[in-house]
């Protein structure tokens, strides 16, 4: 059997053999052994953000977007007003799901090549006191921008606004300390920087706002307060959990801790990022973002100006060599994306760059320089 292709995407990710092998066993969803795995995961997740004193964590079936939607429905009152800080595709998704949840939603727009602005947020909150909650995407992987979580959280705290953080692509890699950053909810998922497999999200909810969330959600399946109360009472999930995903996450977290936790994970991803940037630059590729706002999670590159370049052919040729790239998510310029996360290191990134170089040769492209 050929080796698995390496996924240079923002998730699902390449996982370790240990994580894969964990999924070969079947588990009863009400069994005490499985309930102990769920409890261990919840405890270990709170360790990562130093959140035992301030937050609870509620797991939820489904992709990360399920948990973002559940957070809005559970935390925002029906007469609340959500402001979404928008500098990319996932911000726009957050705004759309907020409206679909029946909550009033406003958008504060920024260019997708820039960070969201704490000063602009402060001004907006002063102008419109009806805003009750702010939604921030920590790492907007549409372009790869790292948004200023601490500064946004400080503005929200100073003005008494709830903050919901989508930390899908940052949690486990970038430092998030609940002792220093106040947020009402922070959302992440199994198949990202913890290097588990996709299929469950989890939401950290601030204890101070938890009781007020009772009965708010218009959804049975996505009521995080009800899920939390039931788990505390029974140790079980309310509805059938993704058992194989849960045990894979427990194994992935064990490896995360063995590696050295968040600082070690970030160091490896930064090394991957450096290898990628340096190698691609030698081929003529230009990153879309200024490096000062680039997260070492996923990098957007300008497409080559050469008329022989076509993404579908480029993608297929790289895939043939064992590497799965990601299409661009931007509207104004043609791009593609390369992820730096997953159970890979600089060696795999160097191999990926070589695969790209050989692909360019196949296409007759001598320089990957963009049009500008």
Q: Would you write out the chain's pLDDT as a tens digit for each of its 372 residues? A: 356 899 999 989 999 999 999 999 999 999 999 999 999 999 999 999 999 999 999 999 999 999 999 999 999 999 999 999 999 999 999 999 999 999 999 999 999 999 999 999 999 999 999 999 999 999 999 999 999 999 999 999 999 999 999 999 999 999 999 999 999 999 999 999 999 999 999 999 999 999 999 999 999 999 999 999 999 999 999 999 999 999 999 999 999 999 999 999 999 999 999 999 999 999 999 999 999 999 999 999 999 999 999 999 999 999 999 999 999 888 678 999 999 999 999 999 999 999 999 999 999 999 999 986
Q: How far, in whole angstroms, is CA 59 from its chain's centroid?
A: 15
Computed on alpha carbons and rounded to an integer, the radius of gyration of the chain in Å comes to: 21
Peptide linkage before 20 cis (omega within 30 of 0): no
Sheet arrangement for strand 162-166: 55-61, 200-206, 185-189, 162-166, 133-137, 81-86, 104-109
* pLDDT for res 164: 98
Q: Report the C-alpha gap between 289 and 293 in whole angstroms.
A: 7
**Ranges for all domains in the chain classified under CATH 3.40.640.10:** 17-258
pTM value is 0.97
SS3 readout for 118-162:
HHHHHHHHHHCCCCCEEEEECEECCCCEECCHHHHHHHHHHCCCE
What b/e readout covers 160-180, taking b as 16+ CB neighbours within 10 angstroms? Answer: ebbbbbbbbbbbbbbebebee
CA distance 261 to 192: 14
Across the chain, where does the E strand assignment appear?
Answer: 6-7, 55-61, 81-86, 104-109, 133-137, 139-140, 145-146, 162-166, 185-189, 200-206, 298-302, 323-324, 326-327, 335-339
Do residues 143 and 90 touch, judged by C-beta distance below 8 A? no
Token readout for 91 is 């911000």
**Residue-level pLDDT at 1:** 35
**Are 138 and 86 contacting, i.e. CB atoms less than 8 angstroms apart?**
no
Given this model, what pLDDT does residue 77 score?
98
Thinking of the domain 6-10+262-363, which architecture would CATH place it in? Answer: Alpha-Beta Complex (3.90)
pLDDT at 329: 82
Neighbouring-strand partners of residue 186: 165, 204
Which pLDDT score, from 0 to 100, does residue 332 have?
Answer: 77
- CATH 3.90.1150.10 maps onto the chain at 6-10+262-363
Of 3.40.640.10, 3.40.1360.10, 3.30.465.10, 3.40.50.2300, which CATH number belongs to 17-258?
3.40.640.10
* Cα separation, 4 vs 332, whole angstroms: 34
Q: Is 20 exposed, middle or buried (0-12, 13-18, 19+ CB in 10 A)?
A: middle
CA-closest candidate to residue 185, choices 58, 42, 86: 58
Cα–Cα distance for residue pair 329/335, rounded to 1 Å: 8
Count of alpha carbons within 13 angstroms of residue 120, beta-carbon side: 15
Token representation of residue 29: 């969803």
The two tokens of residue 366 are 């001598």
Q: Do 196 and 190 contact (CB within 8 A), yes or no?
A: yes
What is the rounded CA–CA span in Å between residue 299 and residue 338?
A: 5
């Amino acid at each position: 059997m050929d080796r698995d292709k390496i996924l240079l995407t923002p998730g699902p990710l390449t996982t370790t053999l240990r994580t894969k092998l964990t999924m070969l066993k079947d588990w009863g969803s009400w069994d005490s052994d499985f309930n102990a795995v769920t409890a261990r995961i919840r405890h270990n997740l709170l360790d990562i953000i130093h959140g035992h004193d301030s937050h609870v964590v509620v797991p939820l079936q489904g992709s990360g977007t399920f948990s973002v939607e559940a957070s809005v429905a559970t935390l925002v009152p029906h007469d609340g007003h959500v402001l979404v800080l928008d500098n990319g595709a996932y911000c726009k998704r957050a705004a759309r799901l907020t409206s679909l949840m029946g909550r009033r939603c406003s958008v504060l727009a920024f260019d997708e090549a820039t960070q969201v602005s704490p000063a602009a947020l402060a001004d907006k909150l002063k102008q419109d006191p009806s805003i009750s909650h702010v939604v921030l995407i920590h790492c907007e992987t549409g372009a790869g921008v790292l948004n200023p979580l601490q500064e946004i959280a400080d503005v929200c705290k100073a003005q008494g606004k709830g903050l919901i953080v989508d930390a899908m692509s940052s949690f486990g890699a970038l430092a998030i300390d609940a002792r220093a950053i106040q947020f009402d909810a922070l959302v992440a998922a199994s198949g990202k920087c913890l290097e588990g497999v996709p299929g469950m999200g989890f939401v950290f909810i601030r204890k101070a706002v938890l009781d007020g969330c009772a009965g708010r959600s218009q959804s049975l399946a996505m009521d995080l307060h009800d899920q939390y109360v039931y788990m505390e009472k029974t140790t079980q999930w309310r509805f059938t959990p993704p058992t194989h995903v849960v045990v894979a996450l427990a194994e992935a977290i064990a490896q995360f801790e063995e590696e050295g936790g968040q600082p070690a994970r970030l160091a490896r991803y930064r090394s991957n990022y450096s290898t990628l940037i340096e190698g691609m630059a030698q081929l003529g590729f230009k990153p879309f973002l200024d490096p000062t706002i680039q997260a070492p999670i996923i990098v957007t590159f300008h497409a080559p100006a050469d008329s022989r370049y076509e993404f579908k052919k480029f993608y297929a040729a790289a895939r043939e060599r064992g590497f799965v790239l990601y299409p661009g998510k931007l509207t104004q310029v043609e791009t593609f994306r390369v992820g730096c996360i997953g159970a890979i290191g600089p060696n795999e990134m160097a191999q990926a760059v070589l695969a790209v170089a050989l692909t360019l040769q196949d296409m007759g492209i001598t320089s990957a320089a963009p049009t500008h």
